[in-house]
Chains A and B, each alone.
Chain A
Amino acid sequence: MDVEQVDFVSVLTEDIPRAKEFYAGTLGLPIETEGENDLELTLGQVTLDVFNPASVGQAFAPSPAGIAIRVADVAAARAELEAKGVRFDGEIVDTGVCHFAFFKDPDGNTLMLHRRYAPRER
């Protein structure tokens, strides 16, 4: 079978207005569509779907995916987010090929700021 692309990646929320404030306000993502229980935002080349599972009787669970969000400079972006009250888990990690830093959205979904600085080997 041929998978063409990722149409959307979802994170669940228990509070749509709070999630909107975080993703649209704090992270600055453009909103694509907006509903009472559902919010779609542009996260670079993919659509981020933020959804309240209680609206369809499903349980909430935070995502451990750790969507790696590319920024120009992890340290600068981290400082920017911390100034807005976002808490990070641990220090910035330098793997030898990239920098990353873990943080969570208000629902506990894992996200990362990420920047590879080494060229690809091949």
Chain B
Amino acid sequence: MTVGVERVDYIRVPVKDIGQAKHFYGDLLGLPLNANSPDDDWLEFEAGNVTLAVMTPETHEYEFSPLPPGALALRVADVAEAKAKLEASGVEVNDMWDSGKCRGAGVRDPSGNPILLHRRYAPYPDGSTP
């Protein structure tokens, strides 16, 4: 018997201030807010294939701590362009790196959660591309 994992329903993103987070994820990153978000302290943003449940731990019976480094990699068409757009909005973005297969640039949300702007440009071993 296996557990039968079907998919990821959501990933919690713990934040300290829901208003700041709404601005960051909704306005700056441009993620659509799911109209079914259940409450003011639990906002569901749709990041393509995965729902990000942006929520305040202190109203859900546990203490805030940020996600660890590199926890969430968001695919964008062009990392340099996305970095420039965020910087134009006053967001500090780390230097872009190039692994030889993909590019990335780290940014932190207002609560300090690390978010990676990410794009793989190298084909996968089977020849397909992201």
Q: Which residues of A contact B (CB under 8 A)?
A: 1-12, 26-29, 43-46, 49, 51, 53, 58, 60-72, 77, 80-81, 97, 113-114, 116, 120-122
Contact = CB atoms under 8 A, between A and B. Distances in A.
12 contacts: A3-B76, A4-B75, A6-B11, A9-B72, A43-B7, A61-B65, A64-B67, A65-B12, A65-B71, A67-B12, A69-B5, A70-B7
A122 B38 CA distance: 12
B19 to A, nearest CB: 20
Nearest to B130: A7
A121 B37 CA distance: 10
Please list the 9 inter-chain residue pairs (A to B) with the smallest Cβ-Cβ separation, ordered nearest first: A5-B48, A44-B7, A28-B2, A68-B9, A6-B50, A61-B68, A7-B73, A70-B6, A4-B75
Given A4-B75, A8-B73, A27-B3, A63 B67 contact: yes
Given A114-B9, A121-B36, 20 more contacts: A1-B28, A1-B29, A1-B30, A1-B76, A1-B81, A3-B47, A4-B75, A5-B74, A6-B75, A10-B69, A10-B73, A45-B50, A58-B69, A60-B68, A63-B67, A65-B14, A65-B67, A71-B3, A80-B2, A122-B35
B30 A70 contact: no
B86 interface: yes
A29 B129 CA distance: 22
A63 B71 contact: yes
